[in-house]
Amino acid sequence: MTDATETRIDPTMAERFLLDPYLQWANGEGVPVHLDFGHDLLALETGPWDRYDARGCFAHTHGRGDFMANYVIEVSPGKKTRPLKHLYEAFFYVLEGYGSTTVWLPNGEKRAFEWGPKALFAVPLNCVYQIFNSSGVERARLSCTNDAPMTLNLYHNVDFVFDNPFAFPERAGLAKHFEGEGEHTAVHRGMNVATLNVWETNFVHDLTSFKLYELNERGKGSKNVSFILADGTMHAHTSEIPAGRYKKAHRHAAGTHVHAVDGEGYTLLWHEGDSEFKEFPWRHGFMYTPPFWMFHQHFNTCPVPARYLACSLGSRKYPMIALRRRSAEGGGSISIQQGGRQIEYEDQDPRIHRKWLEAIAETGVASQMGDIFDEPGIMAMPKEKMTGVISTPRSIGPAI
Question: What is the pLDDT, as a whole number, of residue 155?
Answer: 98
Q: How far is CA 201 from the centre of its chain?
A: 18
Taking Cα atoms as reference points, which of 22, 95, 68 lies closest to residue 234?
68
H or E stretch at 152: helix 148-155
Radius of gyration of the chain (CA): 22
CATH 2.60.120.10 in the chain is located at 22-172, 178-343
Residue 269, CA distances (Å) to 58, 97, 195, 290, 378 in order = 23, 32, 27, 7, 21
Question: What is the pLDDT, as a whole number, of residue 399?
Answer: 46
Contact 93, 145 (CB under 8 A): yes
- The pTM for the full model equals 0.93
- Tens place of pLDDT per residue across the chain (400 aa): 545 444 566 766 667 889 999 999 999 999 999 999 999 999 999 999 999 999 999 999 999 999 999 999 999 999 999 999 999 999 999 999 999 999 999 999 999 999 999 999 999 999 999 999 999 999 999 999 999 999 999 999 999 999 999 999 999 999 999 999 999 999 887 767 788 999 999 999 999 999 999 999 999 999 999 999 999 999 999 999 999 999 999 999 999 999 999 999 999 999 998 989 999 999 999 999 999 999 999 999 999 999 999 999 999 999 998 888 888 887 788 899 988 899 999 999 999 999 999 999 999 999 999 999 999 999 998 876 666 667 666 554 444 4
CB neighbour list of residue 76: distance below 8 Å, 6 or more residues apart? 54, 55, 133, 139
Taking Cα atoms as reference points, which of 238, 103, 219 lies closest to residue 171?
103
Contact 89, 146 (CB under 8 A): yes
Q: How many CB atoms lie within 10 A of CB 20?
A: 18
Question: What is the pLDDT, as a whole number, of residue 86?
Answer: 98
Residue 16, CA distances (Å) to 23, 67, 148 in order = 15, 22, 22
Binning the chain into helix, strand and coil, the percentages to the nearest 5 are: 20, 35, 50
Q: Does domain 178-343 have CATH number 2.60.120.10?
A: yes
3-state SS assignment for residue 95: strand
Q: How far is CA 117 from the centre of its chain?
A: 17
Strand 223-229, strand 196-201: pairing: parallel
Report the C-alpha gap between 33 and 360 in whole angstroms: 35
Strand 213-214, strand 223-229: pairing: antiparallel
Q: Which CATH class name applies to 22-172?
A: mainly beta
Torsion sign over Cα 326, 169, 94, 71: positive
CB neighbour list of residue 186: distance below 8 Å, 6 or more residues apart? 195, 196, 197, 198, 213
Report the C-alpha gap between 205 and 203 in whole angstroms: 6
